[in-house]
Structure 1
């Protein structure tokens, strides 16, 4: 008789443990699918965009400078922001294509 009481008490404590941790697990899953995963996807798309930059692309930098790519190097690009005015910026400073800016 005592054995059944002990087994029943152990099963009840495991059930309550599951009820305790289930909300935390659900919160982590929700954070992953609604916050972490979309951010990783955006970063991947931005990295592909920066790697595909070529001469003649119209871009916008993080500082809000609009320009046309005139030269592409390994980790930097030279953009022309006005006639005969060229600026060298890091590729990580490029935010988007001007065609994307028109859509927003």
Structure 2
């Protein structure tokens, strides 16, 4: 009977050890994934800033590269359309 309890105790101890290791591994993986997400968000923010700077230079006439000019002109068109649609919203709200 003592052998049974010793074996049972050893198995419980082994399972607890495995669970502890897996929990530690899971936490470490989540920490790494969180760091990766943080780095990706920082890159997205920097890319947006670069784009904003190029667009501002385009608006002041400082950009001549046609790849940039074409993209900036498309942005300008969408900005104008956004403005028209926002005016339409104001008009509709005024009628209500």
Asked if TM exceeds 0.5, the reply is no
Q: Which has the larger radius of gyration?
A: 2
Q: Relative to total residues, which structure has the larger strand share, 1 or 2? A: 1
Q: TM-score range by the shorter chain?
A: 0.3 to 0.5
What is the TM-score when the length of structure 1 is the normalising length? 0.39
